[in-house]
Homo-oligomer: A and B are copies of this chain.
């Protein structure tokens, strides 16, 4: 039977095996929109710090789908009725939750599509797939949007305890080699329960939740906001900004052409608003052609471009000669910034080029913001309380504080092309 042929298992070093549960899911996985995720790294440029962190959105999405299956199995075993259609929809919703990610995931999220979050693109693509698959994704889309009448499905897709985080934390730990960040995803999932169709965690899972929040914080500073990644990502953002500048300038000034793939040109040659994006299918079509390879190949070609800002930044990134960075709990004083600017000017950078070689920014992180989205604990007496109240650790409250780190990074001693490339 067709259905048997399509029942596939995939090797996953994190979970052993992942089973694709049914034909529709299989067809979605086979679809070019989803296959594109094979070419988008989960962690952008973190591979420059953690050489093993090469995993993609493709594997992450499958992993999250796998965990969704386990979560539903747990909830059913506790007596909650979940239909096959709901189960399928929930797995599809999580499978496709990241389908709107573009090249380098979060790194270029607001850079290629200015001001457009990836979730909005995911939704557009899901609707397009729904059209192609004759409406069979409607329930999944409701769950994704949070309009389905049983809220826990949306919570499993997107909340403090969603299957997205369960998968990415474990997967990122695995591929970076930061073993100490490991969370007890399987234990947390076994502790999930429902009260009034909302997700809660059994009281005996509190320690695992605390560990989960604490590990998440570790991963933020150790990996996601690692200072060397911040440098590389700042450089990439400046590269894209310069390319966009040259592309929009070039017609008048007739400088050397700036290579881009056709799909990338669509987004670099002029800003696209969300409204345009929604109403003109050619944008969505171009977007689904884009992946990390467009960017990397552009960087490689740009490293030979006659514009020296572009070529220097590109060659530096290719050779992993990165900016120097300083981080601080306080904003940097103007004096320091001006001193660095002077150094750059002394080294031959022009005033109008400064902003490409000196970047200021803020990295923020809060492990848990109960004001936005709660983690609810079900006590033994069946009362529901917030994790920050359930925990005996004042520290869990501490995790709710926003941490803010200021950084400044700049091209130090490296603006020239390396000797071996002369």
Contacts and interface: CB of A to CB of B under 8 A. Distances in A.
A241 B194 CA distance: 46
A279 interface: no
A232 to B, nearest CB: 12
A393 interface: yes
Interface string A47-69: 11011101110110010000000
Contacts of A7: 77
Contacts of A32: 318-319, 418, 420-421
A381 to B, nearest CB: 12
B52 A52 contact: no
A293 B289 contact: no
Interface SS of chain A: helix, strand, loop or mixed?
helix
Interface stretch (A11-19, A114-122, A250-258): A11-19
A58 B51 contact: yes
A384 interface: no
A67 B180 CA distance: 17
Interface residues of A, number: 84
Interface of A: 4, 7, 9-14, 16-17, 30-32, 35, 38-39, 47-48, 50-52, 54-56, 58-59, 62, 77-79, 132, 174-184, 186-187, 190, 207-208, 210-212, 214-215, 217-218, 221-222, 261-262, 289, 293-294, 296-297, 300-301, 304, 318-321, 329, 392-399, 401, 403, 418, 420-421
